[in-house]
Copies of this chain bind each other. A is one copy, B any other.
Amino acid sequence: MTIDEARSAFPALERVAYLNAGTNGPLARQTVDAMTERLRRDLEEGRSSAAYFESAFEVRKRVRTKLAAIVGTDESKVALTTSTTNGCNVVVAGLGLGPDDEIVTTDGEHFGLLGALAVSPARVRIAAVCDLPPEQALNVLLAEVRPRTRLLALSQICWLSGNRFPVEELREQTGVPILVDGAQSAGAVPVDATRFDFFAFSGQKWLCGPDSTGGLVVAEPEALPIAAPSYMSQNGYDGASFTPTEGAARFDPGWAPPTIVAGLDAALDVRPEGGFERAAEMAERCRELLAERVEVITAPGESTLVSFRPEGVAADVVTSLHGRGVIVREVPGKGWIRVSCGWWTTDEDLERLVAGL
C-alpha cells in the first residue's frame, strides 16, 4: 500500500491538519467498518455460540502476530493489553518489589508509567533529564543506578520533549532489567523490543487502532509473576491455584471486546510501505519550518514528535490553531506545544500549522 493510498482511508485527515497522533491517531474507514461489521454480527447472532468464540480467538491470535512483527519480536512474547498504562502496571506489580528496592526513572515520564511506580513499595529515583540535550541523558541516568536498583523504567521517546532517552545503552551498561514505555515509539519509529526486558505500548496512537488497545512485550514470560490474572491467564485451575497460559498471553488483562480487536486487526493493515521514513522526514521538515519562527525543543532526528515554545501562551495558541483546523496539543507544565507527525502528514499540514502561529 502506498502512502497516498493509505492516507485516503482516513476521513479526518481531509478535514484538518491532524498533528496529534501522540494522543490518539486518526481512524481509517477500514478500521471502523471492521468494528461495525462485528457489532452487527453480535447483534444478530448473539455472543455465545462456538462460532462467536472461535472467530474472536482467531482475531486475537492474528493481532498478536501483527503487533509482534511491528515491534520486532515473537508473538509468544506479546500480551494484548488495554494500554501502555496497563502494561506498566502488569510489570511493576508483577515484579513485587519491596521497600529496600529501587527503581530508576526520569522526570519526563507520563502518568501511565509513573502511576505504577508511585504505588510500588520500592524507592523511586528520578533522573532529571527531560530538559537536557539527549546526549547528556545517559550519564545523569547512570548516576542514579545503584546496587539496590531492581528496575529501570522510562520511555524510549519522551512524550513531553520528543527526545529519545538512551534505553538501549542504559540496559547494556547496567545489566539491570528495563521496562520501556513505548507509547511514543511503537508504530512511529522502528522498534526492536528484543533489546528490552519489558516493552509496553499503545494501539490507539501511532498504530491508529481503536481506543483501549495496546501490547506488552515480556522477554521471559515465565519469569514474571502474574499480578492480576484474567480468564485468559490460565489453561486449567483447581481451587485457588492455576496453570498459567503459555507465553505472554498469560498477561492478557481479560476478554477484549471482539469489536475492538477486529478494529485493531484492520488498522494494522492500513500501514504503508516506507511509513517510518516518511514520518521521520515530515518531522524533520516540521522542525525546520518551526525553527524559522520559534524555539524548537526537540533535537533533530529524535522522533516523530516536535515540541516547541510558542510566542504566546501555549493553551491559547492550541485553541487558536484548533479554530484554524490544526490539531496539536499543549505540553502540560512546560509552556510548550507538541506536534505529532505521521507518515500521513503533508507539507500542506505543516504550512497550515506555521501559518497559524
A residues at B contact (CB < 8 Å): 11-12, 15-16, 18, 20, 23-27, 29, 31-32, 35-36, 39-40, 42-50, 82-83, 85-86, 89, 93, 105, 107, 111-112, 114-119, 124, 126, 204, 210-212, 225-231, 233-234, 237, 239-242, 253-260, 322, 327, 329
**Could you pull out 22 A-B pairs where Cβ atoms are within 8 angstroms?**
A12-B45, A12-B46, A20-B46, A24-B46, A27-B46, A27-B47, A35-B259, A82-B82, A82-B253, A82-B254, A85-B229, A105-B240, A111-B231, A112-B231, A114-B237, A114-B240, A115-B230, A115-B237, A116-B228, A118-B237, A119-B225, A212-B256
**Chain B residues, CB < 8 A from A260:** 212, 257, 260
**Chain B residues, CB < 8 A from A117:** 240
Nearest B residue (CB) for A46: B12
Cβ-neighbour of A20 out of B32, B45, B48, B112 (below 8 A)? B48
Determine whether the beta carbon of A229 is less than 8 Å from that of B23: no
Cβ-neighbour of A239 out of B46, B93, B112, B124 (below 8 A)? B124
A16-B46, A112-B230, A212-B212 are known; give 14 further A-B pairs, CB within 8 A: A12-B44, A15-B45, A23-B47, A24-B46, A50-B322, A82-B254, A85-B254, A93-B93, A115-B237, A118-B237, A124-B240, A210-B259, A228-B228, A260-B260
Give A298 to B105 CA distance when docked, in angstroms.
Answer: 55
**Chain B residues, CB < 8 A from A11:** 43-44
Give A329 to B16 CA distance when docked, in angstroms.
Answer: 50
Cβ-neighbour of A231 out of B85, B231, B234 (below 8 A)? B85
**Chain B residues, CB < 8 A from A124:** 239-240
Determine whether the beta carbon of B242 is less than 8 Å from that of A114: yes
Give A174 to B278 CA distance when docked, in angstroms.
Answer: 65
Nearest B residue (CB) for A40: B32
Cβ-neighbour of A43 out of B16, B32, B46 (below 8 A)? B32
Determine whether the beta carbon of B115 is less than 8 Å from that of A229: yes
Known: A118-B242, A211-B257, A212-B254. A23 touches B36 (CB 8 A): no
Determine whether the beta carbon of B212 is less than 8 Å from that of A257: yes
Give A20 to B223 CA distance when docked, in angstroms.
Answer: 38
Cβ-neighbour of A233 out of B45, B86, B115, B256 (below 8 A)? B115
Determine whether the beta carbon of A46 is less than 8 Å from that of B29: no
Give A12 to B40 CA distance when docked, in angstroms.
Answer: 11
**Chain B residues, CB < 8 A from A82:** 82, 253-254
Known: A36-B39, A111-B234, A115-B242. A255 touches B212 (CB 8 A): yes
**Chain B residues, CB < 8 A from A111:** 229, 231, 234, 237, 242
Determine whether the beta carbon of B46 is less than 8 Å from that of A39: no
Give A25 to B105 CA distance when docked, in angstroms.
Answer: 44
Minimal beta-carbon separation of A14 from chain B (angstroms): 9
Determine whether the beta carbon of B211 is less than 8 Å from that of A119: no
**Chain B residues, CB < 8 A from A83:** 230, 254-255
Determine whether the beta carbon of B229 is less than 8 Å from that of A118: yes
Minimal beta-carbon separation of A17 from chain B (angstroms): 11
Nearest B residue (CB) for A226: B119
Give A253 to B46 CA distance when docked, in angstroms.
Answer: 27
Nearest B residue (CB) for A56: B211
Give A20 to B234 CA distance when docked, in angstroms.
Answer: 23
Nearest B residue (CB) for A85: B230
Nearest B residue (CB) for A115: B229
Give A124 to B255 CA distance when docked, in angstroms.
Answer: 26
